[in-house]
Amino acid sequence: MPLSSETQTLVASDGLKLAYVVDDFSDPWAPGEPLVLIHAAMGSSRRLYKWVPILARHFRVVRPDMRGHGATAIPAPDQLSLDRLARDVIELADHLRLDRFHIAGSSAGSIVAMKTALDYPDRIRTLTNFASTPGLKNSLIDMTKWVDHIRARGMHGFLRETIAERFPNVTDQGFLDWFIEESARTDVELFARFGPMMKAVEFTDRLHEIKCPMLNVVPGHDPLGTPGQYEVYKQHVPHCEFIVYEGLPHNITDAVPERCAQDLLAFLLKHRGR
C-alpha cells in the first residue's frame, strides 16, 4: 500500500534511534521493488526530495538518515564506523521485510552503498554511485583543513563561504539558502568524526567483488577527485555502466536532481526483476 512521506524510526541493534522515510506510489497490484537512497554527508533524506516524484511511482523508495544526520540520533564514539553504517542499511531492510533491494548513494552515501553491496552481496539487486570515487583516501580533499575550517567558522559559516564552489551553475538563491540551512543542521563534532572516517576509505582492491549491475554517474569537473579516480570503475566492476555530467562539479545530486533521478530510473527499469 502507498505510504506517506512521514519520518519513521527504528532502534538499531546497538540501541541508536534511526530515522527513515518510505515513499511508495507504485500500483497496488504491481508493487514496486524496493530502492534504498542514501544521502551525502552534511545531508539528510530531505535533500533527496526532488527524486521522489520520479522514482516512487515505480519503486518503493526508502530514504534513511545516516547516523548523526537529519532526524537520526548522534552516535557515541564507539557507534560510528563504516561497518555500522552498512549494518544500519541491512537492519532497516530487515525491519521493512526487504529481502533484496536496489541501493543508490550520493557522495559519502555512495561509499555506504558500496560497503553494503560488498559486505552483503546477496541482498543487493543493483548498485548506483553518484559522485563518489571508490573511497576518499586518494582524493584531493584535505579533511584536516575542512574540519579546522568548520570548527573555526561553524557549519553555517563554512557552507556560506564554499557555496559558490559547490554550485557555480545554480542561480536560484532560494535553493542556495535552503541548502545552507538544511546542511548546517549537521553537528560540527559529528562531522569532525564522520569526515576523517570517510577520508580513510579505499575500495579499489575490492571493486571486482561487485557482481550486480552498477551505474556510476560522475561529474565531469570535480575539484574533489580526478577523472582517473572515476574511470577505475570501468576497469574493475564486471557489469559497469558509466555516465558523465560534463561541466558540472561535485554536487550533481543537488544541482541537477531531476536529471540524476531520471538516469537512475532508466537504469533501474532496465534491471527490474533481476
pLDDT band at 230 (very low <50, low <70, confident <90, very high): confident
Measured CA to CA, the distance from residue 154 to residue 136 in angstroms comes to: 23
Which parts of the chain are beta strand (E)?
8-11, 17-23, 34-38, 60-64, 101-106, 124-130, 214-219, 240-245
CB 77 within 8 A of CB 30: no
Cell of 120: 552483503
pLDDT tens-digit map of 46-78:
999 999 999 999 999 999 999 999 999 999 999
Nearest to 209 by CA among 101, 122, 103: 122
pLDDT of the residue at 242? 95
Which helix or strand (DSSP H or E) is residue 192 part of?
helix 188-199
Cα–Cα dist 52/56, whole Å? 5
User: Global pTM?
Assistant: 0.95
Distance CA 18, CA 4 (A): 18
Residue 16 is predicted with a pLDDT of: 98
User: Domain boundaries in the chain?
Assistant: 8-139+202-271
The residue ranking higher by pLDDT, 223 or 178, is 178
The DSSP line for 12-57 is: -TTS-EEEEEEE--S-TTSPPPEEEEEPPTT--GGGGGGGHHHHTT
- The CATH number assigned to the domain with range 8-139+202-271 reads 3.40.50.1820
Report which secondary-structure segment, H or E, holds 149: helix 143-166
- How many residues does this entry show for the chain? 274
* Three cell numbers written together for 50: 526532488
Query: Per-residue pLDDT for 228 more than 80?
Result: no
Q: Exposed (0-12), middle (13-18) or buried (19+): which is 209, by Cβ within 10 Å? A: middle
Which pLDDT score, from 0 to 100, does residue 31 have? 86
For the chain, give the longest Cα–Cα distance: 54
